[in-house]
Amino acid sequence: MPNARTATSTWSPQPDDDPATACPISPVVDLVFSRWTTPILWVLQAHGTQRFVELERRIGVTPKVLTQRLRQLERDGLVQRRIYAEVPPRVEYEITELGSSLHSVFAALGEWSDAHLADVEASRAAYTGPLPR
């Protein structure tokens, strides 16, 4: 996905009729909030370096999917993978500096959750309209 928005980015509302650039933060959202990526980054941030099986158990995800996500995160520079040529083999995953720079985003999210998640649940409980799906 080419991000057409270059240097002159102001995060203020600006008329934009092109669906591709209608939501300028979409690239980051895809990057950080793809399925399982948030739990992975969170656990690595909270508990430090983890082995494969530790992540698997903590997060509750199958090895196949975990591998997919870890590769993606490694490719994007958010996670560092380290292999130790031992017997039995050992592979450790650590969050990178780039990855931990997301803490501000996660913090904002956590604060919003503390402040407003109850409102959402109240709204859900009070909602009577048609539920599609």
Partner DNA sequence: CCGAATCCCACTGGATACTG
Partner DNA sequence: CAGTATCCAGTGGGATTCGG
Taking the C-alpha atoms of residue 123 and residue 118, their distance in angstroms, rounded to an integer, is: 9
Residue 92 interacting with DNA (CB under 7 A): yes
Q: Which residues bind a second copy (CB under 8 A)?
A: 3, 9, 11, 13-15, 17, 19-20, 22-29, 31-33, 38-39, 42-43, 45-47, 57-60, 67-68, 71-72, 74-78, 98, 101-102, 104-117, 119-120, 122-124, 127, 129-133
Burial class (CB in 10 A: 0-12, 13-18, 19+), 80: middle
Question: Please, what is the minimum distance in Å from the beta carbon of residue 87 to a second copy?
Answer: 23
CA distances, 25 to each of 54, 120, 126, 131 (Å)? 32, 23, 31, 29
- If the CB atoms of residues 90 and 116 are measured against DNA, the closer one turns out to be 90
